[in-house]
Structure 1
Amino acid sequence: MKKIYLISILGLFLLSCNDPQPASQQAEVAPVPATETVAQADSTQQTDAVSAATNVAKSASYNGVITVPPQRQATVTLTMGGSIHSTSLLPGNHVSQGEVIATLENPEFIQLQQTYLESAAQTEYLEKEYNRQKMLSEQEAASQKRFQQSKADYLSMKSRMEAAAAQLKLLQVDVNRLHEQGIQPYLEVKAPLSGYITNMHINLGTYLNAGEPVCDVVNKGETLLELTAYEKDLDSLQVGCPVEFQVNGMGAQTFEATVITIGQEVDDVNRSLQVYARVKEPNSRFRPGMYVSAKIRKND
């Protein structure tokens, strides 16, 4: 009986040593209720969803360069070859439409002027002779053969004069000025539009063949953005979409533009196409070829 009693006491002692921690300590490590965990997760998901919709659906980023419309950029070429006789301009200089960029020397230019002036003088004489023979023929005072010959001579010389005048017009030579001032020794190369000189690689004595470029003239009165997009972006691109862009080298300053055209052909290699946007307020610091980063906002 005593043995049973001792064993019972020993068992109670062991159970008391293995009791769990006090209730106060259990409360300190109690897990967060399941309802609160779900609420926090839902709140995070909602925030992510809203930010994703704002950043992705509303705007997309594109890279590109500044350019000008083809109507505002001209390559100055020669209709007649020759050697550079003089030039006073440097790349970056501004020129006005019609201003002389350089002068060329070519003996053929002098001969062309001579041909025009001689044919003009002969045409004037033959026209008077033709009218005289015509009047005599109507009065039957001259033969038809002589009348026909005078007519042929007059029309032939007239066409020769007109051909020479047309060639001089292509060379931007005023034939009226030629009559007044006589033969010009040098051919003047003039600016086809107002703008800035670029790609000028000539010096005194350089010989240029007909068709070779002298320089380019760029008018920055209207500037465009040439942006690169991809076919996956087509759904978010529309004509009229507003564009916000930054220019490399001009800090964090932002500018505005509007999409005016979207390329109709996708490149076979990189699946890209060009998007053009018109800059709202041209800046004198803009230069064709400058890199830009832009964001296009989709119209609602």
Structure 2
Amino acid sequence: MKKITFPLILLVLTACGENKEVQPAEEATAVAVAENVTDSIQVDAITSATSKPNQVSFNGTMVIPPQRMATVSLTMGGVIKSTSLLPGEPVRQGSVLATLENPDFITLQQTYLDSHAQTEFLEAEYLRQQALSAEQAASQKKLQQSKADYLSMKSRVEAAAAQLKLLEVEPELLLKEGIQPFLQIKAPISGYVADVKMNVGKYMNVGDALCEIVDKSRTLLRLTTYEKDLADMKVGNPVQFRVNGMGKTVFKATLISIGQKVDEDTRSVEVYARVDTADNQFRPGMYVTARIMKEQASAEQ
């Protein structure tokens, strides 16, 4: 009986030892699974909102809305007499960008001043003929002729004044200061000078672009998304983005427009977001990577 007892005891002890070795392995597996689950949940450092690990990022560029970008072009050709512009230089609306030399500009001013003077004379003559006609001291023919001359000269003055205003010359100022030898090219908006294409002595034709002015106060993001992502997008959704070359800094924007046409080749859709976090380093054309937050993420913030 003693010979049988010892092997049974050894067998039981061996089995217990094997169970003790398996238990730590199962615990390690459970810990690893828990760690994987924890790693799969990403927490936004800015908003503390959680997101799925496969959340889509969208690529795009910074752009300027059309009303914030101006191309300075000419409505009258001529030779650039002077300019001091440099690319990147800030300018204010109405400031002089360059001066233009053209004999036709002097002729236009002379036409306006002569017509204005003639109009005053013809108006006085027309009023005199009206008074004489009322007293039956003048013929109707002279009255009609006087009226026609006055109205004709008046329309000529108005046409010359309209042309001067197209050139950003105020007719009233011309009456006070007289003929100006050079046409001043003024900035239509405030912003930064870009793409300067003029220099002193260069002849510029009508419609030629002298430069561009960019107002960065209303920068937008133009992002490329896809039709499968449209269901999760709504105007007003917050957007978080990073700019190429500016490290890991996260900036904020707001979705303001979703394209209504899908590209047939790439199945992509363009969406636009208004940049809410301004930075002097922003430039049109910079590449960005953005994440459009869903409504659930917005509620958690």
TM-score range, shorter chain: 0.7 to 0.9
CA displacement at 1:146 relative to structure 2: 0.5
CA displacement at 1:269 relative to structure 2: 1.7
Question: Any gaps of 5 or more consecutive residues in structure 1?
Answer: 1-21
Q: Residue 63 of structure 2: which of 67, 76, 101 is its match?
A: 67
Q: Report the equivalent of 2:280.
A: 284
Q: Residue 76 of structure 1: which of 72, 75, 80 is its match?
A: 72
Which has more radius of gyration?
1
User: Residue 216 of structure 2 aligns to a residue in which SS?
Assistant: coil
Residues 120-147 of structure 1: per-residue CA shift (max 9 Å, x gap): 0100100000110111111111000000
CA distance in 2, matches of 1:173, 1:76: 16
CA displacement at 1:75 relative to structure 2: 0.9
User: Residue 71 of structure 2 aligns to a residue in which SS?
Assistant: strand
Question: Any gaps of 5 or more consecutive residues in structure 2?
Answer: 1-9, 43-49, 297-301
User: Residue 289 of structure 1 aligns to a residue in which SS?
Assistant: coil
Q: Report the equivalent of 1:238.
A: 234
Q: Report the equivalent of 1:54.
A: 51
User: Residue 274 of structure 2 aligns to a residue in which SS?
Assistant: strand
- 1:142 matched to 2:138? The reply is yes
Pairs aligned (count): 276
Q: Say whether the 8 Å CA contact 2:40–2:53 is kept in structure 1.
A: no
Q: Residue 258 of structure 2: which of 258, 262, 265 is its match?
A: 262
Q: Report the equivalent of 2:45.
A: none
CA distance in 2, matches of 1:153, 1:294: 68
Q: Report the equivalent of 1:215.
A: 211
Distance 1:295 1:118, change over 3 A: same
Counterpart mapping for 1:193-232 below 5 A: 193-232=189-228
Residues 209-260 of structure 1: per-residue CA shift (max 9 Å, x gap): 1111111111111211111111111111111111111111111111111111
- 1:161 matched to 2:161? The reply is no
Residues 31-83 of structure 1: per-residue CA shift (max 9 Å, x gap): 969xx69x959x579938964993258x4311111122222111111111111
Aligned-residue identity in percent = 55
CA distance in 1, matches of 2:221, 2:279: 13
Q: Say whether the 8 Å CA contact 2:197–2:209 is kept in structure 1.
A: no
Q: Report the equivalent of 1:297.
A: 293
CA distance in 2, matches of 1:102, 1:266: 44
The alignment's TM-score, normalised by the length of structure 2, stands at 0.84
CA distance in 2, matches of 1:105, 1:25: 107
CA distance in 2, matches of 1:209, 1:28: 97
Q: Report the equivalent of 2:123.
A: 127
What letter corresponds to residue 132 of structure 1 in structure 2?
A: R
Q: Report the equivalent of 2:173.
A: 177
User: Residue 203 of structure 1 aligns to a residue in which SS?
Assistant: coil
What letter corresponds to residue 254 of structure 1 in structure 2?
A: V
RMSD: 2.7
